[in-house]
Chains A and B, each alone.
Chain A
Amino acid sequence: DQQVKQNSPSLSVQEGRISILNCDYTNSMFDYFLWYKKYPAEGPTFLISISSIKDKNEDGRFTVFLNKSAKHLSLHIVPSQPGDSAVYFCAASERTQKLVFGQGTRLTINP
């Protein structure tokens, strides 16, 4: 039973446009959500997080939106840059800090 799902294995976006990555979860006890970015042969790099008491968190070009009723979160990157090409993982936890990860979405930014 996959508690965190990223239904799009890949996404292609033109440079300068908005990238939207989506994530759904099933466990209503999750109260902390994170996005990580991963390049080949490197560990995941933390991007941005959001607590369940908020519905939006912004950090520069990155914004995470949380819709608790729909059990859905999304990561918006605007404007998209070539260096954003990577695999993006969403993760969730119940504050026990045992993160549950999605399968990842490979984002490709085209010049």
Chain B
Amino acid sequence: GAGVSQSPSNKVTEKGKDVELRCDPISGHTALYWYRQSLGQGLEFLIYFQGNSAPDKSGLPSDRFSAERTGGSVSTLTIQRTQQEDSAVYLCASSFDSNQPQHFGDGTRLSIL
């Protein structure tokens, strides 16, 4: 498709398990972002990739969270040893470059039991 694609759309897992969330950005977009939206909250920045530059990880809430972007395209957000407070919708966005609007995928709804 033409938009940002995220998988899975829903993920339910037990506390303590690791999870991987995937994002396929719009083709040709060099910038990729991860955000999360907890219940009743606004969107919270997590991490930003721009081309081959070092990512901006300033929004990652703990060292249990990590992300990588392979080949300048697909990105994976990994949460290790999940906790109940990790339950949220995780949204990925991409933009043509850092001066263009970000376009979002539909998110992964993560539920930690």
Name A residues whose Cβ lies closer than 8 Å to a Cβ of B. 4, 34, 36, 41-46, 49, 89, 91, 95-104
- Chain A binding surface, main DSSP class: loop
Check if A103 sits within 8 Å of B104, measured CB to CB. no
Check if B56 sits within 8 Å of A89, measured CB to CB. no
Check if B95 sits within 8 Å of A43, measured CB to CB. no
| Residue B70 is within 8 A (CB to CB) of chain A in the complex | no
Residues of B contacting A95 in the complex (Cβ-Cβ under 8 angstroms): 98-99
Check if B98 sits within 8 Å of A97, measured CB to CB. yes
Tell me the bound Cα distance from A41 to B103 in angstroms: 15
Chain A: minimal CB distance from B60 (Å): 12
Check if A44 sits within 8 Å of B91, measured CB to CB. yes
Tell me the bound Cα distance from A97 to B30 in angstroms: 12
Residues of A contacting B31 in the complex (Cβ-Cβ under 8 angstroms): 97
Chain B: minimal CB distance from A102 (Å): 6
Tell me the bound Cα distance from A95 to B100 in angstroms: 10
7 extra interchain contacts, Cβ-Cβ under 8 A, other than A89-B43, A98-B33? A4-B42, A44-B91, A97-B33, A97-B99, A98-B56, A98-B59, A101-B35
